Amino acid sequence: MSSFLLLLQISFRNIFSSFLNVVIGLIILVGTLFFVVGGSLLASIDKGMSRSIIGSIGGDAQVYQASSKDSPAIFEGWQIPDLDPIPDFSKIKGPLLSNPNVKSVVPEGINTAIVVYGNTIDQILEKLRKAVSPGSKQPREKVESLKAHVRQMVSVIQTDMAKLDKVASKGSFDPDAAKDLTKASSSEFWKGFDRDPFNHLEFLENKIAYLIPDSDQIFLSYVGTDLDVFAKAFDRMQIVDGTAVPPGHRGMLLSKYVYEEMFKLKSAHRLDKIHEALTEKGKKIAQDPDLQDLVKQNKLQTREIVLQLDPLSSQKAVSLLQNNLGLKETDLPKLLSAFFDTDDANFEGRYKVFYDQLAPLVELYRLKPGETLTIKAYTKSGVVSAVNIKIYGTFQFKGLEKSDVAGGMSLMDIMSFRDLYGYVTPEKMAETKSLEKEAGVKFVARDNAEADLFGGSSSVVQETTQKKINDKAELGGAKVKRVNLTEQVYSTEEMEKGVAMGAAILLKDSSKLKLTMKELQEISDRQGLGLKVIDWQTAAGYLGKFILVSKIILYLATAIIFVVALVIINNAMVMATLQRVREIGTMRAIGARKGFVLGMVLTETVVLGLAFGTVGAALGSAFVLWLSRHGIGAFNDAFYFFFSGPRLYPDLSIGSLVMAFIVVVMVTCISALYPALMATRVSPIQAMASDD
């Protein structure tokens, strides 16, 4: 013990004995600081991302059919995995819930849909068609206003074509289109509108509407689920606009992020982006090319607003723009262009004017809660299927409002999802087979199709005779009832007793994830459910691999730092040992053994490493604690998901601290080993020779 204490005294005395020791110590300090800060940040991002995935769609774990070719990838957008459906969700729900740590089992299925929107004139013509339809209770003033709006649109198209005709090459425009526009703008056309409105509307829809190329095709990613169960399981979900879908009803909730990006007036959405950048991110229009591009787009793309305004609204818009801009210009597009010519000085004022005075004259959103949307999607077999579904409102996940990852998915009821994805229930399959048997349908194999169909066989091809169908006789006097699916209400049993692509598992205690996953897999195997259980990180696809890749990069960078440190420390220790030949030789001359010299050099190096490593760890810990109070702002919308909110408040990772000290001790011991062995070979004779 006395020898060890002596070695410690010598080591502490020699920490700052040479410049080389200080260099070695600083290298160790920087490496340790980097390791502690980096490890804590990565651990905090890992926790943040897990909260985002678990709290939005993924849950703590996911289960899916084990026979599937792919595994769930819930945040990979259009890369829909090839999963075999779970035939009956109700048969797996009970066994999974039997585990005491399972809080909720939520059926889920991910698919993509296409929503095709007509252009602005299509939408106005549709309103006019409803207004003049038999039984319509629209007042005459409303009909005349819509007619005037369409006439103004035709005038705008004519003006635009005249401007383009001046700069375009000869023959660029269809002369028939010009004739159609002339006809649609004539007084004779509109005088005859009231006598035959539907033929006139057909002409406008077929000959005029296509001349405005602003129709949109919107792609939606959505999760089919039991919406009531989903809302209770994922407590971060909150309704923003409209209402929740009533339990048992068909319906859809659009993501608020998607609603703003896809369905809002483009000029207004660009203004919102500029406003957010100026007020929340501290950017300047004069210094940011992206903001300047948004301003330029608003200046040039004013037709979307012009086409929405009827003559009366156009007059109001011209008047308010003249007053705000102090101009006498009467051309609405020019006034709008001047209004949208914003800079850092005038933006806030014009942003307020737009929403207070101009926005009430137009429709900010092309779709409102309560309206019905026609959604088309490809079934698993590749056939396009469509459903009409009511949009009840919008939703978002608390803390992830601006995340394009968490906000990229809308929610659809499970019954509509099954219809769109093309799932056939066991009942429908049984009904189909019954009809096939009753009709005498014979299955023809692909390989034998030609022989069976054209080989003279009478068993497949038969003559048919024309027969008039007696509806009353066939239906037994019953009347055919049309079922409005949007108003149909389903029981919990009906929603659960059907197919699902998978299910999200939410736990009572997330710290027991691995154990619970093992238990759930055992339940599936024991009861023959045919399920595979994966954790949230695997289910997240490429996002789940983000942390793993980041850790590899951190450890690789740290390894490089410490390898360089090892080489430098080794060389420095060799030089330091050569400088101490006289001292070491003298110690050997007065009786110090090789073991003592070896221990002295190793102890000095370890003490040096631990001393500077402790300082580095303390500085790193202090920096992490400072960040935990002030937070790190999300650099862009994507980091909202990684941070699980607008700011990341990192926690000090004890694991990083322990690992940092282990690495420091290992590096210093390895780097000091060769110099220590050199020191043991120093003899008193060498010491005296060096003294001479």
Residue pLDDT, tens place only, 345-397 = 999 999 999 999 999 999 899 888 998 888 888 777 777 788 889 999 999 99
Greatest pairwise CA separation for the chain in angstroms: 128
Q: How confident is the model at residue 318 (pLDDT cuts 50, 70, 90)?
A: very high
Helices 594-630 and 19-56, packing angle to 10 deg: 40
With beta carbons less than 8 A apart as the criterion, state whether 323 and 365 touch: no
With beta carbons less than 8 A apart as the criterion, state whether 65 and 84 touch: yes
Write down the domain spans for the chain: 2-53+544-691, 59-118+215-261+368-423+470-539, 119-214, 430-459
Residues 357 and 50: their CA atoms lie apart, in Å, by 44
The mean pLDDT value for 275-283 works out to: 90
pLDDT score for 580: 62
Given a cut of 90, is residue 242 above it in pLDDT?
yes
pLDDT score for 471: 55
Residues 274 and 264: their CA atoms lie apart, in Å, by 15
Q: Please compute, for residue 604, the number of CA atoms within 13 A of its CA located in the half-sphere on the CB side.
A: 27
pLDDT, one tens digit per residue, over 464-517 is 555 555 655 555 555 555 556 667 889 999 899 888 999 999 999 998 999 999
Helix, strand and coil in the chain, % to nearest 5 = 60, 15, 30
Given a cut of 70, is residue 584 above it in pLDDT?
no
Residue 505 β-bridge partners: 61, 105
Buried b (16+ CB within 10 A) or exposed e, 242-257: bebbeebbbbbbbbbb
Query: Which of residues 541 and 223 earns the better pLDDT score?
Result: 223
- Averaged pLDDT score across all residues of the chain: 81
The mean pLDDT value for 533-554 works out to: 79
Q: How confident is the model at residue 675 (pLDDT cuts 50, 70, 90)?
A: low
The SS3 of residue 533 is strand
Q: How confident is the model at residue 336 (pLDDT cuts 50, 70, 90)?
A: very high
Q: How confident is the model at residue 663 (pLDDT cuts 50, 70, 90)?
A: confident
Tokens standing for residue 662: 């282990």
pLDDT, one tens digit per residue, over 414-472 is 999 998 887 665 555 666 667 666 666 666 565 665 666 565 555 555 555 555 556 55
H/E stretch holding 629 reads helix 594-630
Query: Which of residues 450 and 195 earns the better pLDDT score?
Result: 195
pLDDT score for 285: 94
Q: How confident is the model at residue 36 (pLDDT cuts 50, 70, 90)?
A: confident
- Relative to beta strand 237-242, strand 372-378 is unpaired
For residue 176, give every residue at least 6 positions away whose Cβ sits within 8 Å of its Cβ, in sequence order, or none.
none
Q: How confident is the model at residue 528 (pLDDT cuts 50, 70, 90)?
A: very high
pLDDT score for 162: 75
Query: Alpha carbon 683 to chain centroid distance?
Result: 70
- Position of tokens 């296509």? 210
H/E stretch holding 37 reads helix 19-56
